[in-house]
Amino acid sequence: MCGIVGIYLKNKKYNSQLGKFLTGMMNSMATRGPDSAGFAIYSSEKKKKYKYSVCSNTDQVKEISKKLSKQVKDIKVKSISDHLIIETAMKPKKFIEILKNHDELSLVGYGSCIEIFKQVGNPKDVVKNFSLEKFSGSHAIGHTRMATESAITTDGSHPYSTGEDECLVHNGSLSNHNNLRRSLQKKGIEIKSLNDTEVAAGYISNGLSDKKSLKETLLDGLKDLDGFYTFISGTKNGMAIVRDEIACKPAVVAETKDYVAIASEFQAMAHLPNVNSAKIFEPEPGKVYSWGK
């Protein structure tokens, strides 16, 4: 099972309601994945600033902030449930090295506009814990997980992010992820968990760092990734969806002049404005669809 959702707003007037829309989508997909949930929100880019989404296993936020501010100048820490959003001008390479010295913190994603939150538990509780309703932004991607490939932990939850402002959610399972993981790790892509989707995220990061477009990378993936999948991938410019050639895993797209929404089932979009007059279609197998700036 697993439920995947994504929404890209074409009309800025809805930006303040992005979190509200995604909350409804995640809630109705809770039945497809009751084990854990996560989401990535893209908001406007902050020039020369990076946001690091970090999961912490301690509630001593103040002490962590103090410790970090000794090592990093000009740091802003925002705490939401068990996550911290750390904002600083420090470049990723350096900051990630510093984070590695803090065993109580694990990085879930970073970039100039992405924020990622994920947690074990029923999606309905998870979105409440992170107050998803209050978020605004331009596009967002979410996942509700029914665990198959790896343990029910925050590490095993989606979305996966293996590059700046990138994220991936997946409905399905990959069968050649161990081999691929090894070859990607040799190329220097960091993959932390034993999960199959993180390998696919790493595969996309590798493609993008080779200066390929997201569309080209996903098309290459049809040859290299063996298994069943519907992927929704996000970048700071937009989002894309691809289904494997067998297309066992569902997906439906609703497009209006104001937004594009993707979900595993139509019921996840039934609450969106004017959805009944939207252009509704199922993505064809082996074809990449993308929307963005």
Residue with tokens 């989002």: 239
Q: Interface with other proteins includes 284 (CB under 8 A)?
A: yes
Task: Let me know if 167 is a catalytic residue.
Answer: no
Under the binding rule (CB under 8 A), the answer on residue 277 touching other proteins is: no
Minimum distance of other proteins from residue 172's CB (angstroms): 15
Q: Which residue among 98, 194, 219, 280 contacts other proteins (CB under 8 A)?
A: 280
State the SS3 of the chain.
Answer: CCEEEEEEECCHHHHHHHHHHHHHHHHHCHHHCECEEEEEEECCCCCCCEEEEEEECCCCHHHHHHHHHHHCCCCEEEEECCEEEEEECCCHHHHHHHHHCCCCEEEEEEECCEEEEEEECCHHHHHHHCCHHHCCCCEEEEEEECCCCCCCCCCCCCCECCCCCCEEEEEEEECCHHHHHHHHHHCCCCCCCCCHHHHHHHHHHHHHHCCCCHHHHHHHHHHHCCEEEEEEEEECCEEEEEECCCCCCCCEEEECCCEEEEECCHHHHCCCCCHHHCEEECCCCCCEEEEEC
Tell whether residue 268 is a contact of other proteins (CB under 8 A). Answer: yes
- CA–chain centroid gap for 165, Å, is 9
* Of 230, 225, 261, 31, residue with least CA distance to 141: 261
**Cβ-based nearer residue to other proteins, 96 or 270:** 270
Cβ proximity to other proteins, 151 vs 246, nearer residue: 246
Cα–Cα distance, 274 to 256 (Å, whole number): 8
Contact call for residue 125 and other proteins (CB under 8 A) = no
Tokens of 28: 């109705």
Considering only 102-110, 200-208, 211-219, 266-274, which stretch makes contact with other proteins by CB under 8 A? 266-274
| Residue with smaller CB distance to other proteins, 98 or 280 | 280
Among 125, 210, 226, 282, binds other proteins (CB under 8 A): 282
CB of 285 to other proteins, least distance (A): 7
136, 152, 247, 255: residue in contact with other proteins (rule CB under 8 A): 247
Which of 98, 128, 266, 287 is the binder for other proteins (CB under 8 A)? 266
Segment lying near other proteins (by CB under 8 A), choices 2-10, 101-109, 125-133, 267-275? 267-275
Compute the least distance from the CB of residue 245 to other proteins, in Å.
Answer: 8
Choices 98-106, 147-155, 217-225, 259-267; region in contact with other proteins by CB under 8 A: 259-267
Which residue among 252, 255, 256, 273 contacts other proteins (CB under 8 A)?
252
Q: Is residue 261 near other proteins by the rule CB under 8 A?
A: no
CA dist 206 and 29 (Å) reads 30
Minimum Å gap between C-beta 293 and other proteins is 29
Interface with other proteins: number of residues (CB under 8 A): 16
Among 89-97, 141-149, 190-198, 277-285, which window interacts with other proteins (CB under 8 A)? Answer: 277-285
101 in contact with other proteins (CB under 8 A) = no
Q: Kindly give the pairing relationship between strand 279-281 and strand 252-255.
A: antiparallel
Task: Tell me the catalytic residues.
Answer: 2
Q: Which residues in this chain contact other proteins in the complex, by CB under 8 A?
A: 247, 250, 252, 265-271, 276, 280-282, 284-285
